[in-house]
Amino acid sequence: MHERKRILVTGGAGFLGSFLCERLLREGNDVLCVDNYYTGSRDRVLHLLDDPHFEVVRHDITFPLYVEVDEIYNLACPASPIHYQFDPVQTVKTNVHGAINMLGLAKRTRAKIFQASTSEVYGDPAVHPQIETYRGSVSPIGPRACYDEGKRCAETLFFDYHRQYGIEIRVARIFNTYGPRMHPNDGRVVSNFIVQALRNEPITIFGDGSQTRSFCYVEDLINGFLRLMAMPAGFTGPVNLGNPEEFQVRELAELVVEMTGSKSRIVSKPLPADDPTRRRPDIRQAREQLGWQPTVPLREGLEKTIAYFDAKLNRPTVQPLILNVVGIERRHADAAAGFTPTL
């Protein structure tokens, strides 16, 4: 008989977090979803609220959290440039203070803890495809550093807690992921292109669109999370999780136009600072150690994602994403009062 686990998912009302909560419940666990709704949305987990084994708590992980759990998935952090650059200091705090607080909780409860890291730790890579042993090419002072270096520091903290306190950790480096429940205005290429195409607006690419990305469908990624978490004690990662098929951004734009039957034209804008030119994961470790690889082709995943956005954009309730400015102001006031994260 399956032993019901008490599992905490930070960022549980986010794009990835909502799918993870759903899957963990389906597998017979008690799930505590924690989110401050900075970029997450309660709407993403509304369909789970009637489940007696699901609980939602509004909380910012830059503050300590006192709960009893068996496992922790730490997904809390804005993940697209438009969001993490809005309040870069808070992004660093979420990555660093948040990691310290969640690791402190894992230390107290002896919980296994998962860190959602990112391919951004590789920066604009000089090695292609990116393998886990590559140390990256990251600017510590650029506009993306709050996220890139914040995630790198979080990885450092995870491995130091593992070495110093024996905490059982798992670290996944996530490459571009897409699917239903992305926000229409989150600034990522897949959602940008689909929304612009459905509205017959110009599709904006940066530079000539020759830069590459690898796109993993959300359900494939969640499968990778669970396989990594189920690995025997002592297997820590980091492990790349993403789709090794590489596409030029312009190719993606053209495919979206074709699939939506859009009248949109493709227009170019200047490349943003520190934007990586190539991005593709080496997933040999995931294949060999986890027995995992993506199974959903890009066209199939895009069909589901386009259908989601088509339905969402035709609902009168869709509003532009409004960041939680009140919450930001409250955090700034708390910081001025001398907040110190728990060790």
Indicate which residues carry an active-site annotation.
Answer: 147
Helix, strand, or coil (residue 220): helix
> Cα dihedral angle (165, 166, 167, 170), rounded to 10 degrees?
130
The stretches of 8-166 forming alpha helices (DSSP H) are: 15-26, 81-84, 88-109, 145-165
283 to 53, 243, 312: CA distances (angstroms):
34, 8, 33
Query: What stretches of 25-100 adopt beta strand conformation (E)?
Result: 30-35, 54-58, 71-74
Residue 341 φ then ψ, to 5°: -65, 150
d(CA 176, CA 252): 13
Half-sphere exposure of 317 (CA within 13 A, CB side): 3
Strand partners, 56: 33
Strand partners, 269: 206
Geometric angle at alpha carbon 45, from 43 and 51, rounded to 5°: 135
The amino acid sitting at 179 is G
d(CA 190, CA 302): 8
* Residue found under tokens 């609980």: 55
Neighbour count for residue 324 (Cβ, 10 Å): 16
DSSP state of 3: P
d(CA 34, CA 289): 30
5 in Cβ contact with 30 (< 8 Å): yes
